[in-house]
Structure formats: structure tokens, C-alpha cells
Amino acid sequence: MNKLRKIFTLDSLVVPLVAIVLGLIVGALVMLLGNYNPIEAYSALIKRVIGSPYHVGETIRQVTPLIFTGLAVAFAFRSGMFNIGADGQVLIGMTTATAVSLSLDGVHALVSVPLAVIAGGLAGGCWAAIAGFLKAKRGINEVITTIMLNWVALYFSNYIIRHFFLLKGQNRSEDIQASASMTFLSSIFDNARVHWGTVIALIAAAFFYIYLWKTKQGYEMRAVGFNQHAAEYAGMNVGRNVIKAMFISGVFAGLAGTFEVLGVFHFQSVFAASPGYGFDGIAVALLGMNHPIGVVFAAILYGGLTYGSAGMSFAAGVPPELIKIIIGSIIFFIAAQGIVRFILKPFYLKRKKEKVL
């Protein structure tokens, strides 16, 4: 119980909740300015998310890659780095999983699917480790390298699919037959695309917490994140920890792409532009305040709002772009915590007075 209290402090719970409420209020005000009914819109959003077993399943499906990419960004940030390249790592994981699965076509799913998952995660990790290596050995800013690697990953992935695995007459790869085994509980969720990646994402969040806060290696990574010079003075290998942190971060992102291919689409498209999973992960990490538990809840919020926006559009006529305004407002209030604390200040003062009395 005491451990939970340390994790869930008053600030860590109240500030994000107030930020969410303020973001929803801003969204309601924008709707009123556009002559939309915010009550009707939010009701339609909620109904879309939890109105039927199918929609619940699809919401879970929407949330899963956000957990992975949110963990990727948060893990790197906790280690003192900004992983802006999660989108490229997602694509590399996706392409590797597709290549392994199609190359092992005919091999039993119990063998080919786990191999594809492992390969996709490791490929994403190795792709991120390139930026970590350049940071550790050459001092090159990881923001620049990860952004550039996003574009390299996009064109490299498209090249692989077009030249080796393209379905004739289509702008996508051949179907991955073995990936059908990734779905589960389809009867409960009315054939929604729920897959085992959701379970792995929750395990990854647990690994994130245990590794960073309960192991010596995690302690070193956090120490490097706080102050590289102090960590080096204490005898820690800063370069090794930088590369390792980026590798683990990339594994999370690579798994996001892997499970999107194996669990959702069962093929890989040739992308005209970045799919955006990694950039959504940045927002999720910010909302979750870079804590694995916070990331899971932030992914549920972000994914629920994103999936529910279609309900707002169909039932209430509200443009789905409005959801981006709401999410942006929530992120703004999370980032500008001084504003939230200023709003909460009278309540804190009142509470202190009651304690004194």
C-alpha cells in the first residue's frame, strides 16, 4: 500500500485529471462556438467507445500500439533522451515481422508468429540503437538522427515491400496467413480485431517499471538521465547506457508495428507518408507523465478519444478534427502544470486550513 502511495502521489493523480477536465471544457467551448451540442457530442463519443462489445474490442485495438509507442518515448526520456524516431522504429518492426512471416509461409504459426514477433521487436531496437550509438560515440543529438531515421525507415520499408513481397496489382504485401492466430476472444467482442499484442503491451509496461526502478541497470539509466557527468564521475558507463536505453525504447516501438501487422491488418501497406504511430506515442508519454502506469491510462484516454471521434462525427455532426483540439488542450494543461496548480491553489489552501483547525 505504501508503494502505491509513492507512485500515486496527490500531484500525479490530481494534476492530470484536472488537465483532462480542462481539455474537455475547452473542447466543449469550441463546439459551442461552432454551434454544436457538446453534451450530445460527448454522449456519442462514449456510446461509440463502450456502446457494444465490438466497439469495446476495437477501442482496445486502437489503444494497444499507443501503449507501446508511449512506453518507447517515455523509456528514452527517463534515460535522458528524446526518441522522436518511434515512428521509424514502428515501420522497421512492421517490415521485419512481415518479411519473416512471409518468408516462413507454410511453417506452423506456433513457430513463425513468435519468430516474427521477436524479429520485429529486435529490429526496432537495433534501428533505435543507431541513434544511441551516434549519441554515445560522436555526441550527435538524438533528436536530429531519429527524425532523419524516420524518413530512411519509410523509404526502406516501402522498398522491401515493393521489391520482395508486393501483392500483384495491389499497393501492399501479400497476406500473412499465420497471423490469424494472433487474434483472441473474437467471439466475446463480436469479431473485433483484439489480439495478443494487448497482453504483451501490459507486460511491457510492467517490465518498464520493474527494470527502471528495481534493477541496478535501471538505476544506472535513470542516473544517466538525471546527470550524465555525475553518472560518469560515479563510474557508470554512460555510452553503454545510452545505447542500451535507445535499444529498449526501440524494441517497444518495434513491437507496436509488429502487432499492427500480425494482429490487425495481416499485411503491410506501402505508405505514402509516415503512419504517425510514433508521434502519437509522444503525446501519450506526455499525458502519462513518462511513467509506465500513466502511459497505459493515457493510451486508453487517447485511443478512446480517437476511436470515439467517429461517433461524434456521425451522430452529432462534429468534425473529428475537434478531437485533436481536445487532446492538444489536455497536453497543454499537462505541460503547463503551473496553470493547473494555480487553479487548484485555493483548494490546497482550504485543505491546509482544515488540517490546522
pLDDT surpassing 50 at residue 6 = no
Residue 11, in any domain of the structure: no
Give the total number of structural domains in the chain.
1
Domain span including residue 228: 37-317
Q: Write out pLDDT tens, residues 270-306.
A: 988 888 888 899 989 988 889 999 999 999 999 998 8
**Binning pLDDT at 50, 70 and 90, where does residue 36 land?**
confident
CB 288 within 8 A of CB 22: no
Helix 38-50 and helix 53-78, axial crossing angle in degrees, nearest 10? 90
Using a pLDDT cut of 90, give the percent of the chain over it.
Answer: 50
217 vs 178, residue with greater confidence:
217
**Binning pLDDT at 50, 70 and 90, where does residue 2 land?**
low
Give the pLDDT confidence score for residue 357 in this predicted structure. 53
Residue 253, in any domain of the structure: yes
**Across the chain, what does the average pLDDT equal?**
87
Residue 13, in any domain of the structure: no
Look at the block and give the residue holding cell 473485433. Answer: 192
Residue 174, in any domain of the structure: yes
Length of the chain: 357
Q: Write out pLDDT tens, residues 309-330.
A: 888 877 777 887 777 888 888 7
3-state secondary structure of 146: helix
* CATH value at residue 77: 1.10.3470
Q: What is the pTM of this model?
A: 0.90
Q: Write out pLDDT tens, residues 339-356.
A: 766 776 676 555 555 555
Give the pLDDT confidence score for residue 350 in this predicted structure. 59
Cα–Cα distance, 20 to 24 (Å, whole number): 6
Residue 340, in any domain of the structure: no
Residue 15, in any domain of the structure: no
Cβ count near 30 (within 10 Å): 16
Beta bridge partners of 255: none
Residue 123, in any domain of the structure: yes
3-state secondary structure of 139: coil
Residue 31, in any domain of the structure: no
> What Å distances lie between residue 161 and 16, 66, 164, 168, 273, CA to CA?
41, 24, 6, 11, 15
